[in-house]
Structure 1
Amino acid sequence: MKQLIKAIAVASLMIGSFAANAGIMPISLPSSYTGTVASEDGWLAGDTSAIDFFVFSLDKETEISFNIDALTSFGMSLYAGELSADPSFLFSNSSDFITFTGESLTYLTGIDGFTPNAGENELDAGWLAAGVYTLALGGNEGISFASAAYTLEAIANAAQVPEPGTFILTIMGVAALIQRKKRNAYK
């Protein structure tokens, strides 16, 4: 019994130590963020201590894209859902996953980005509905265990909703053209 309790305690300490490593940061869109991941091979190794997570929310449909400028190649994955704690080994950079705390993240799109010394990486996420999202990014070269600096540029273009007045004027114009066409047809 004592051995079982000891094993559970060791396992919880290991999981707790994993949970304290990932950088999880809120980000506003559009914006630019400069940071460093602990290792340039975190994406390849699935090491969440070397992966940064950015959480953002959209209040209306928005076209989103992300660019990373770095001296190394990066991988990026976009998920629907909010990550609040390091998922540790449960993290998947190419599919849905559920964290220890029960958060469910749905994989939307991503890039693996393995081109040594790529210098620039782009992820065009397209149009996203209102909601909360998480972007994961990490170095994907695996050439060394050095840290990797990057600049993330998040670009957002909100959907253009026509003004009610413009919409009414357009409808009136179309109605006038139809009426004119009908008058000309009877002449």
Structure 2
Amino acid sequence: MTSDHWEQQLIERTAQRDSEALQSLFERYLPMVRKMFWPYSLRLFDEDDWLQRARFVCYRSCCIFTPHRGSRFASFYQFNLHNELNSLVRYELAQKRLAQKQALSYEVLCEQSADGIERQIEFNAMISQCDEIRHYYVEMLSPSEQAALRVLLGEYSEAEVCARFDWTPRQLQGAMQRCRRKYRQYFNV
């Protein structure tokens, strides 16, 4: 049985709600899924959340995929994942949800003194400004520099990044240096 035929059977079985077929198909595309999520850092959204979302997108893609239209499932699934990521980023950056990031419960406000409330309001304003600055700084970095930034911030180890991007330690050090240089230029440090 050819690889394409086997994949087509998995797609058809997944569309018929076969969870084992979905798992097999998802595991086949797992490296692509992880690589797509790598440059993003969404608030309260970790890799496990992304994998769950990507598994759902895989199922949804299987349900609507039609192979006779000339496209391959891999590119179709990647396109759908990219759209899902864009939706998540738009949701995260929407101005109307800015209040959710800064919300405090009434009970917490009652427990704090007037001075504490003022400090909290100032802190929320500062956090909002920092989020905007961080967003613009991260946007100007290339994907490799964003990965290096995640190493610098301690989110990933150097070994993980080198393995994931097939880099030598020297290439990673170069990306980290470019990241630092752009940081100094951006913040005039």
TM-score between both structures, scaled by the size of structure 1 = 0.23
Answer 1 or 2: higher relative contact order, Cα 8 Å, separation at least 6. Answer: 1
Greater strand proportion: 1
Flag the structure with larger Rg: 1
